[in-house]
Structures are given as structure tokens and as C-alpha cells.
Structure 1
Amino acid sequence: MDLTFCEPQRTPSSRSNAWYETGVVGLGRMGRIVVDRVVEGGHDVVAFDVDETAVADASDAGATPADSLSELVEQLGAQKRIWLMVPAGDAVDAALTELEPHLDSEDIVIDGGNSHFEASLRRERETDAAYLDCGTSGGPAGAEHGFSLMIGGPEWAYETCSPVFDAVATGPDGHGRMGPAGSGHYVKMVHNGVEYALMQAYGEGFDLLANGRYDLDLEQVARTWNNGAVIRSWLLELCEEAFREEGSNLGTVADYVAGGSTGTWTVEEALTQEVPVPLIYAALAERFGSRSDRFSRRLANRLRYGFGRHEVARTE
């Protein structure tokens, strides 16, 4: 298709200010944010999801709707840039299988899900199109601020899509090419392992404060720490939010922490590479052991809602 210049609404990357048309497959929480930010960035989007209501909503937001993957491909023209935001696993393979007859070496597929890096390596080998594995961090807050994008794959494909990455990320500094295929999801895997350990550290600290010798307002503690203290962070802001909304005793938040796959992958890779990761391992073990009432796990449960709007398991 013709790459016609169009002034984007956000400041474009210094690498390029070209206008692009991008297909987005999967319009859940994260996929819809991708659509909105790409449209707001001055680029055209063709959107598809098995949920017709999600497609209609994306159309209302400025995307061109597609009733099927084949229709999405037809509307993209000769040079296809397709961003998959479907659940990791079989859904990615199913989408790639359906897309494969329509793609060639000049096309680009971006896998924005939480895929295992070895699955990304396999998909890169099996896909005729250039395959970019794109680790995505930021959760629903990315709708306002943009995501952090960790991308692996061919450099030419990354550079081609950089204007769109600028729009979806926090800007040019919010994304980077980590290396060849698999490296984007590899970096995201380790990111999640670090996230586990940070959540565990905050949880244990507040566990001691909650059960220590003083009757403390934990919202106030979190707010004070988050203003100039060495350990200030977004996760600590989410601790403050949790205590403000649930109370210092976390109310009915259950001692149960979901998730664990990416942390498991991180620990498995660390064992393979013989790199010690005791904090990440301990945090993973705490998740798997969340059967007795532990304050630290209850806080981690609530923090997952804060950054990803994951459902909060409750005791009542």
C-alpha cells in the first residue's frame, strides 16, 4: 500500500514520521488499548476479534472493523503489519495458522502476548512473515501513559514498525529491540520474575508493620515512603491504593495469589543457566503455597488488581 504522510497526533519517532495501517487481532483490555493508542497516534487500524461487540466498539473509536481474519488481511493491502493481542498459547498458533497463507517475507507479525520465548523461536521459524515477539508491560494504566515494549526479531521489521511502537509505548524511550527472535519475550519473562520478587518484598515489609509493635496507618506509611524514599515505585503507589480502598488490614482480600507461569519459566531458565535467583524462587514458592492466611500474599493479591485489574479473590 502507499505510505502517505499524515501528521500524527503524538510526536513521532526521530527514525520516521510515516503513516501506517496496522491490523490488530484481539480486542480485550490490552488489545483495545493498542487500538486506541495507534489511532490517537495518527495511524489507521483494522481491528478484528471473535467478539462482535468488541469490534463494534473499536469501530466507534476510529478503527476499521473486520468480520474475519481474512477480511482484515484484505483491508491491509500489500504490506501487512499485524499485531496479535490474543492469549498466549494455542490462540497465537491458531491465528498464525489462519494468517499464514496470506503472508510473505515482506509482511510483519507482532506477538504482543505473554508467550514463552521458546514458543516465539518456533513461531519465528515457522512463519514466512517477519515475526516480532513483543513483551508488553504496563497493564490497563497503559491506556493513559503507554506501555513498555520489549521486542525481539529482525531489525528491519522493528524499525519499520517503530512509529507505531512510539504510539503504543510511552514514546521512543518506551520500547526497544532487545535482540533476535525470542529475546523480547525472554526479557519480559525475567521482568515478571523481578515483579514477583518486588511484590513479595513489599508484602513481607507491610506484614511486619501490620503485625508489629505499633498500630500503624499503612496507607500513610506507603504514601510517606513513596515521596522521596529509596523504595518508592509504582508498586508502592498501588500499596497505598490498596490500603486506602481496603483498609490497613486489607479487609476481605483473600490470602491467595493467582498466576505463576512466567515466574516458573524464569526459575526454570535460571536453573538451566545455573544463575541463582533465590528471591524470585521464594516469591514463586509463596504463590504456590498460598493456602494459609498470610498478609503478604493478601497484599500481592490486591496489587495484581492495581496494575492489571485482575480479579481480587476474597474471603466473603
Structure 2
Amino acid sequence: MQLGVVGLGRMGQIVVDRVIEAGHDVVAFDLDEEAVATAADAGATPADSVVDLAERLGADKRIWLMVPAGDAVDAALDDLEPHLDGDDIVVDGGNSYFEDSVRRADTTDAAYLDCGTSGGPAGAELGFSLMVGGPEWAYEELVPVFDAVATGPEGHDRMGPAGSGHYVKMVHNGVEYALMQTYGEGFELLANGRYDLDLESVARTWNNGAVIRSWLLELCEEAFAEEGTDLGTVADRVEGGSTGTWTVQEALEQEVPVPLIYQALAERFDSRSSGGEGPGRFSRRLANRLRYGFGRHEVPRREE
């Protein structure tokens, strides 16, 4: 299969690498010429614009967008639109708001698949978890590509109609916020409790058979190993919040109580208004470091 990939940041490059490794052909474009060169070194055919990419693809175009949510997606679609028809397929693999995905599916001539993507840069080795919404025929057509990008056949599925993939990913991120907050609070109590504990040892022990073992807990272990039990200079500031905000807004609209997700979101917002005096809350410092662990997001740090 031939796949066009637009957007060659960390995640887009992983899509390119895994699809090529599975034996498919890739045409790649990004505004960053160095990123295009990196994709070409991996075996992709470079394109110098979105239009050039579309023209290099066959009659039935399969295009994966891995660009930032919002205006960048609409801009790419505007460039592609004259070159698309109902036999073509466009995948939006970014963190788009699900209602934007519904709108794009309604206004784009091609079949539109909204693909929630989880796994972060670790997906380079393991593969992603893919939550896909949109027409069933388009999903089935791209199963070989999804098999390559995901952890395998069990790592992806069609959630339902347009918007459902990004809807499921939105709620996934809300759950992620709450889990990070819970681990943070637990380790904060251990750090300030009765015993002088090695938190890396605690996390490692929990990760071997305990009920609360998880990849996030493995990243806690990694954080303590690299930063120290006191988390060193990691600041009490947690960035991000758009998908958590969308989750809480949707919960209010559907009248579904989500107090843990709401509180985790509120902690993030409060971390940005606390002024940064002193070391701050341990739980939020751990959440800050966990974002680096799974997404390689920059770690805000405090002065010692």
C-alpha cells in the first residue's frame, strides 16, 4: 500500500518508520525540510508541499495527517481538497476535538477517519493504541497500515462513526489525568510520611505483581531513578489540559459525574497560578515528570 504522511514530528516520523518497516510505500511532507530529509533517509519519497504529496499518490489516495490539532488540520485539508474524491481516505491522527472531526468528515470529499493515538514516542518500538472513527469501508481498507502503526491487530479498532475515535481518545486522556494525579498523591504521602523510603524501590516493587502496576507506574520508577526520590529540580507546574477540559465539558453536558478527572484538571490549572515559590506539591511535580516519560514533553524546572 502507498501512504502519504503529512506532519513529521516525533509521532509522524514513527508512523513513517513503522509503515515502511511493514513493507509499504510512503510519500512524506513537512514544513521542516530536515524532517522531510529524515523521512527520506528512512526510505520515504519526499514531497515539497501538500499538493506535491497528493500528486505523487495514486488514484486512490490514502493520507495520514499527523499535525497539531486545530488550524493546521484545516489548512492541510484545504490544500488537499482539490485533489480528493470519495474513493480517497484521510486519517487525522492528532488530538483533534471530536466535534471538529465530525465537521471535517461532513465537509471533506474523501472518507475521513478520526484516529485517536496513544503511546507517545515509546510507540517507535512498541506501536501505538489507535481508536478510529469513521466509515467502516475506509477503516477496513487501512487495516494493513493500522496493523503496522499499532501494536498489532489487537492495538486498533473502529470505535464507530465520525468523531467517535477522537471522542474515545478524549476520555482516555481524562482518565490519564486522574491516574497521574492518583499516583502523584500516593507518592506524595510516601515522600512526606513516617518512613524514609526509596520511592524508586517502591515503584519497582509495585510494578512486579501489585494490583496497581501499569506503564504510568513504570514511568514513576523511571522518574525516581533519573531525578532522585525528591524529584530534584522538577517544578510544581503541569502543562497541557485541552483534552481534559473537553472531557469535563462533555461530562457536564451529558450530566455524568467525573469528580476525579475534574480535580486532576483543576490541579493542573492551579499549578500554573501558584507562583512557583518553594518546591511546591510533590504530586504535581511527579505529574510534570510523567508527561516527559510518555510524551517527551519539556519538563518545567525550578531554580535550586
State the TM-score, normalized to the length of structure 2. 0.97
Give 1:178's aligned residue: 159
Amino acid in the other structure paired with 2:219: L
The alignment partner of 1:289 has SS state of helix
Cα offsets for 1:52-108 (capped at 9, x unmatched)? 111111001000100111111111110100000000000000000110000000000
Amino acid in the other structure paired with 1:80: K
The alignment partner of 2:157 has SS state of strand
Give 2:138's aligned residue: 157
Q: Distance in 2 between matches of 1:139 and 1:265?
A: 20
Give 1:278's aligned residue: 259
Give 2:171's aligned residue: 190
Tell me if 1:141 matches 2:122: yes
Cα offsets for 1:203-247 (capped at 9, x unmatched)? 000000000010000000000000000000000000000000001
Deviation at 1:112, TM superposition (A): 0.4
Tell me if 1:256 matches 2:226: no
Give 1:43's aligned residue: 24
Deviation at 1:155, TM superposition (A): 0.1
**1:123 aligned to which of 94, 101, 104:** 104
Q: Superposed, which structure 2 residues align to 1:1-316 within 5 Å?
A: 20-290=1-271, 291-292=273-274, 293-316=280-303
Cα offsets for 1:256-308 (capped at 9, x unmatched)? 00000000000000000000001000100100111441100000000000000
Percent identity between the two aligned chains: 83
Q: Distance in 2 between matches of 1:26 and 1:69?
A: 10
Give 2:277's aligned residue: none
Q: Distance in 2 between matches of 1:255 and 1:230?
A: 28
Q: Distance in 1 between matches of 2:34 and 2:260?
A: 43
User: Which region of structure 1 is more displaced relative to structure 2, 244-253 or 285-294?
Assistant: 285-294
Q: Distance in 1 between matches of 2:267 and 2:251?
A: 18
Q: Distance in 1 between matches of 2:32 and 2:203?
A: 40
Q: Distance in 2 between matches of 1:217 and 1:278?
A: 31
Cα offsets for 1:127-146 (capped at 9, x unmatched)? 00000000000000000000
Kindly tell me the number of residue pairs found equivalent between the two proteins. Answer: 297
Superposed CA RMSD in Å reads 0.5
Q: Distance in 2 between matches of 1:178 and 1:198?
A: 23
Deviation at 1:115, TM superposition (A): 0.2
Q: Distance in 1 between matches of 2:150 and 2:58?
A: 25
Q: Distance in 2 between matches of 1:308 and 1:119?
A: 23
Q: Distance in 1 between matches of 2:29 and 2:183?
A: 39
State the TM-score, normalized to the length of structure 1. 0.93
Q: Distance in 1 between matches of 2:237 and 2:51?
A: 42
Amino acid in the other structure paired with 1:314: R
Amino acid in the other structure paired with 2:150: A
Cα offsets for 1:19-76 (capped at 9, x unmatched)? x000000000000000000000110000000111111110010001001111111111
The alignment partner of 1:78 has SS state of coil
Amino acid in the other structure paired with 1:117: F
Q: Distance in 1 between matches of 2:205 and 2:95?
A: 34
Structure 1 gap ranges (5+): 1-19
Q: Distance in 2 between matches of 1:168 and 1:44?
A: 13
Deviation at 1:186, TM superposition (A): 0.0
Structure 2 gap ranges (5+): 275-279
